[in-house]
Amino acid sequence: MQAALDRYLAEAAAAASSGAAAAPASAPGLAPGLSAPAALALFEGQLLSREIDVEARRLKATGRSFYTISSAGHEQNAIVGSLTRPTDPAFLHYRSGGFMMARARRGAAEGIYDRDFVRETLLSICASSDDPTAKGRHKVWGSRELWVPPQTSTIASHLPKAVGTAFGLARARRMQIETGLPEDALVVCSFGDASANHATALTGISAARYGSRRGNPMPILFVCEDNGIGISVETPQRWIRDSFSHHKHLRYFEADGELPEVWATVHEAVETCRTQRMPVFLHLITTRLWGHAGSDIETAYRSNDEIRAAEARDPILRNARVLVDQGIATPTQLIDLVTQVRARVREAGEWAATRPHLSDPVEIMAPMAPLDLEAARRDVQERAGEGDARSAERRTFWGDDLPEAATSPVKRTLAAHLSAALADEMRVRPETLVFGEDVGRKGGVYYVTAGLQKRFGQTRVIDTQLDETTILGLAQGAGLLGLLPIPEIQYLAYVHNAVDQLRGEASSLSFFSDGQFANPMVVRVAGWAYQKGFGGHFHNDNSIGGLRDIPGLIIATPSRGDDAVRLLRGCLAVARTSGRVVCFVEPIALYHERDLYAEGDGGWLSDYPMPGEVILPGDIGVFEGWQGGSGGAAAEGAATAATPDLAIVTYANGVRMSLQAARTLEAEDGVKSRIIDLRWLNPLPLDALVQQLEGVGTVLVADEARATGGGIADAVIAGLVEAGFSGRLGSVRSLDSFVPLGPAANAVLLQTEQIVGRARQLLG
């Protein structure tokens, strides 16, 4: 391809009747807004992108760079980069070299970007720690100054968060949250023709149309870069046009042909999106030169004729002809430009290959999981006033319409406390959004969000479509814009419908941007088992294995109402101050539970915590014995001086069952027990746990999740062994089964009697 361009320019120069001449100020045949200087600058950016691809392969061949995936053939996306602004958030396909060169040039012209983007790109290709975006963690397109959150090599998984960002632009303005973006900003989201078939892509496009149909401004420019092939599988002719050109609430534009035609179509698409605030689908016809990636052998599935046909559509070669034919530049001028660009890129590549790489694990992981607990504590205190506020001061904090749970002496259930806590946090945190399926008018499946929409309005409490991928995409987009989203997922099993939005997108953003971008959120998930009258894993899911292995994801789970309030405050504070992604798993079976030991004892009710009371990561709950006698409530407290015979480590439903077991063990066996509520399931609070187990000879982990990888028992026991715990260790867990309907569920789920039996075995 270099040879074809060189050959054309050499032949054109030889045929020219005169020497080099200055380019005219304007030229006939170009599109409106495409001046001669703009066309030449565009071409230079495309050349830079192509030569970077060449250099990446050269460095890879000499072992100085790594996995490469080129933009060759897609350089017309530089037109999109030229016609959008650095204040238009862009979520990009991996073949976006042309776009990024154009955006960097525009950023420099507007005085917001002053570095050498060619060098930065080659630092990324060489995985150097000097790369200012990912610091060598991945080869990404990204820039904080240019509003390009970095993406990994995903297949359309970025579309939902791009849609969420488009939705969040107007929502933030209505909430008077400063985003730093102009009122007419739009969102760019590019992807390939093969990725357009992916469920996540279809979800994102559907969500944008749905939002627009509901009357929401949705200024998102979907750019489908159609090169006709996905790795080795051809896209059928007209497939993209037939699939996306006929939808209501989605304007379709197809950009093909020579430079002036493509520019004119892209210009119209961008202006339609910007002025009408609606989703636009820009079908950009491209070609793929070389294989899919550096390791792909194209001749294994493409004939020589097919390869030659693709090369004949090379946009750089075609654009060079346009520049010469329109008198914008002479062949000699373009030869000089090509020579300069190649020298510049080669020098940058040689330099980048000498720069250092990450090697320290602490440095590598630093942006993935920052936690400033003191900042989180201050955040709660500043919003609540003094932590020792008394009853008379409550109305000052909550206002005249404070929830009854905050003032009434009547103890409340977990669900009632959570409902009040959400209202409190929305009042003192004006940047919060609550959204999900049925959370608004209905108030949630379990009525935890009842009344919130009436109190805070539809701007802040939003009923979404029935789709978890969209819900988590909205959360990411809102978080990127400075909002603090609290999305709800109706059941724990439903998270798995969209888990890549947490695994591949939300939780990885800070890592791949070196902490420059964050999408804080607290995902409320109704979960765990023990629901009477429900069967199957969708409503009685007792496994968090798929969440615990996501690096950096925080998982919290309460067992009682007062803990739920303090934990929720802590989760929101950590999300806000450290940009963290948090899953708050609420035990459905305990939402409305009132009793602990016997019917009517009210032992699982609690008072509403005072303002400023908070539980942060690392804080665990401790119960000594089965406290409270036959009718009293369980009371958490500091460890007593006496060392117990047994410690039961557990969480959520397991806390209540373990307190019941402790009562039996003391009454029948004289065994003194300490119940430890972990509260935080990722990362596990092992330091605090080890401290509470000092001197204890026997530890039982009561884990309500499935035995094989579904819960925390393995990790707790391994952590204690590695910490030097020398006592007896054991666990009791639910079976590796889906949860059946009715009484049969008790046969596979952890029961109080099993905790008692296993404790007796361990104690001998």
Q: Does the pLDDT at position 273 exceed 50?
A: yes
483 Rama sector, left if φ>0, alpha if ψ -120 to 50, beta otherwise: beta
Q: Does the pLDDT at position 386 exceed 50?
A: no
Q: Does the pLDDT at position 68 exceed 90?
A: no
17: pLDDT confidence band, cut at 50, 70 and 90? low
pLDDT at 388 (0 to 100): 38
Q: Are 287 and 346 in contact (CB under 8 A)?
A: no
Percentage of residues in the chain with pLDDT exceeding 90? 80
Q: Does the pLDDT at position 527 exceed 80?
A: yes
* Closest listed residue to residue 148, CA positions, set 127, 183, 124, 172: 124
pLDDT 10s digits, 180-197: 999 999 999 999 999 999
What is the rounded distance in angstroms from the CA atom of residue 511 to the CA atom of residue 40? 37
Q: Could you give phi then psi for residue 67, rounded to 5 degrees?
A: -50, 130
Q: Vertex 384, ends 606 and 373: CA angle to 5°? A: 90
DSSP 75-90: TTHHHHHHHS-TTS-E
**What are the angstrom distances between the C-alpha of 589 and each of 410, 537, 540?**
21, 14, 9
- Token pair 């001046």 is at which residue? 35
Q: Does the pLDDT at position 239 exceed 90?
A: yes
Averaged pLDDT for residues 365-386: 86
pLDDT 10s digits, 289-322: 988 887 788 888 898 888 888 888 999 999 999 9
pLDDT at 391 (0 to 100): 39
What is the rounded distance in angstroms from the CA atom of residue 701 to the CA atom of residue 714? 9
What is the rounded distance in angstroms from the CA atom of residue 294 to the CA atom of residue 732? 50
Residue of higher predicted confidence among 393 and 578: 578
* Tokens encoding 292: 């899919």
What is the rounded distance in angstroms from the CA atom of residue 671 to the CA atom of residue 762? 12
Query: Please, which residues bridge with residue 285 across strands?
Result: 226
pLDDT 10s digits, 396-424: 444 455 555 555 556 899 999 999 999 99
What is the rounded distance in angstroms from the CA atom of residue 563 to the CA atom of residue 50? 57
The enclosing H or E element of 646 equals: strand 646-650
Domain with CATH 3.40.50.920 in the chain: 621-763
* Tokens encoding 371: 């936690």
Q: Does the pLDDT at position 346 exceed 90?
A: yes
Among the residue ranges 6-20, 311-325, 468-482, 706-720, the one predicted with the least confidence is: 6-20
Q: Are 493 and 541 in contact (CB under 8 A)?
A: yes
- The class level of CATH for 373-590 reads alpha beta
* Tokens encoding 34: 């495409």
Domain with CATH 3.40.50.970 in the chain: 2-8+32-355, 373-590
Provide the residue type at 30 as one letter: L
Provide the residue type at 371 as one letter: L
**What are the angstrom distances between the C-alpha of 122 and each of 75, 134, 137, 351, 380?**
17, 12, 13, 9, 43
Among the residue ranges 13-27, 161-175, 538-552, the one predicted with the least confidence is: 13-27
Averaged pLDDT for residues 568-579: 97
Q: Does the pLDDT at position 389 exceed 70?
A: no
Which homologous superfamily is 2-8+32-355 in? Thiamin diphosphate (ThDP)-binding fold, Pyr/PP domains (3.40.50.970)
- The class level of CATH for 621-763 reads alpha beta
Task: Say how many residues make up the chain.
Answer: 764
Q: Are 465 and 207 in contact (CB under 8 A)?
A: yes
Provide the residue type at 734 as one letter: S
Provide the residue type at 427 as one letter: R
